[in-house]
């Protein structure tokens, strides 16, 4: 189990799944979030870049882009 999954398993049920996207988004109770660009398998670091924030305004904008069907806009902005 990778270190992030191990840490999350203390407070959440963690299941191994195959993910075909380079973006990890975790919304914690609509108050805090983690947004990260995943590195390629085998990379020294698990993330190329990431942000953790408790800015609810920024969270609502990211949710609008990622969760509400506007994924293409964010992916184009990030050059993914």
Condensed to tens digits (0 to 9), the pLDDT of residues 16-55 reads: 877 677 888 888 888 999 999 888 878 888 888 999 999 9
Mean pLDDT across the chain: 81
Structure tokens at 11: 């407070």
Cα gap 61→55, rounded to integer Å: 10
Structure tokens at 34: 């983690």
For residue 8, pLDDT beyond 90:
no
Cα gap 47→36, rounded to integer Å: 6
pLDDT of residue 30: 86
pLDDT of residue 3: 83
Mean pLDDT of 57-77: 71
Is the pTM for the entire model greater than 0.85?
Answer: no
Cα gap 71→74, rounded to integer Å: 5
């Amino acid at each position: 189990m990778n270190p992030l999954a191990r840490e999350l398993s203390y407070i959440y049920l963690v299941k191994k799944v195959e993910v075909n996207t380079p973006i990890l988004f975790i919304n914690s109770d609509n108050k805090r979030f983690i947004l990260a660009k995943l590195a390629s398998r085998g990379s020294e670091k698990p993330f190329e870049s990431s942000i953790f924030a408790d800015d609810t305004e920024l969270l609502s904008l990211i949710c609008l882009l990622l969760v509400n069907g506007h994924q293409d806009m964010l992916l184009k902005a990030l050059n993914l």
